[in-house]
Amino acid sequence: MYVLYNSFGFKGIYILTLIMSGLITGMFFTSLLRHKNGMILSFLVTIFVVYVSQGVFAARNQIFSFLIFELEIYCLNGLLERGKKRYFWYLILLAFLLVSFHDTVYPLFFLMMMPYLAEIILKKIFKLENSEKLQYSNFVNTKYLWILLVLAIGIGFLTPIFGTAYTNLIFCVSGVSSDFISELQPVNLISSLPIMIVTFLVISILCFTKTKVKVKDLLFSFGFIIFSLIAGRNIYFLFLIGMIFITNIITDFINTYIEEKEQILKKLEKSIVFIMVICSFTLIFSIRKFSKQLSREYVNGLQYPIDATEWILGNDDYKNMRIWTHFNWGSYLELKGIKVFIDSRSGMYTEEENKGCTVLADWLSINNGKGDYEKIFEKYNITHVLLSDDDLIKKYISKDENYKLIYEDSLYSLYERK
């Protein structure tokens, strides 16, 4: 990201995001086809998943980690269902890549293995057989899965700070951050229409039809549904990973009840007209979106204090300023070389990750109007306060004689603390 920005600016990062988003979508579509779900169903599911997962396609670590997770599922199926031993080495490589790109989510590398391991244990130890509703897979190379599990545990310690791959996720979900960051908070099933639709569909197929499903697909489906309800950020796992297995269940349902339409679907899939319509629609939509995004400003002046930042940079003494800023603005000011009180990497500012650090808690107390701002500013030796008109604290500071207004525009104000 750093090299791209220095070489090509925001456009370079934007194009990288497009490429990675295309790879994520393409890998998802390929995984569906590998499970013999049919081109039409795979296409419709992919469109649905891309629509409900728009938030994941951003220039953040997740555009690498989600692709790695999809490749992991693809390789696990190749190792266990297709019996290709080379996928074992691919999985080792993926573990190295994940712990390097996004170590916070590294424990989820093991989560992807759990349904496979559970099915193996249920089938071999308890000697369970296929039932009227459930079907067990004929996995091969199962010993390699256990070896992978052991090796992946060791790979998780290959981080610059020992053990962070196993502690960051815990700190992230258990600290102060989860109190106000929406993506870390639990999800209400009723308020999330996509999750509710998927859950209703899976339960309906299992309870009210004669469809026989694989245990692995069942475990993945309900596992990711529950996982998505624990925190908002997990919704993307349900759709970009879990939907691969939910689509398997849908396919089993179609094959059970709509066998006579199989030939019609195959003919449609091979139709040149169908392919041309889909390609044309995708191309036109993509070009319109791309041209629109390429011509827009990448930093929104309504969300970031652009003019105020330029004014601060014009001040000869700005490097000695200690500025109290909003949680969401810190990244932009840092991009411009200005030291800030806090930025959106919330975990760094908590006691869970840095002993004795209460920056996030102090920022929250001021932002919510519950803390003594003067006492907290004194604690951190704050010299300036950058505020928007919506900040609750501005109502107090604008009338406080200890603060002098030195810059103001239509949205933002900068006060000097005497």
Q: Is 311 exposed, middle or buried (0-12, 13-18, 19+ CB in 10 A)?
A: middle
Low-confidence ranges of the chain (pLDDT < 50): none
> Nearest-5° angle of CA 75, CA 250, CA 94?
15
Pairing state between β 213-214 and 134-135: parallel
Global pTM reads 0.86
Tokens 């920056």 belong to 359
**Distance set, CA 270 to CA 37, 252, 276, 388, 392 (Å):** 15, 22, 11, 57, 61
**In what order do the strands lie in the sheet containing 412-417?**
323-324, 384-388, 412-417, 403-408
Q: Is 292 helix (H, G, I), strand (E, B) or coil?
A: helix
Residues across the chain = 418
d(Cα 69, Cα 73) in Å, to the nearest integer? Answer: 6
Cα Dmax for the chain: 81
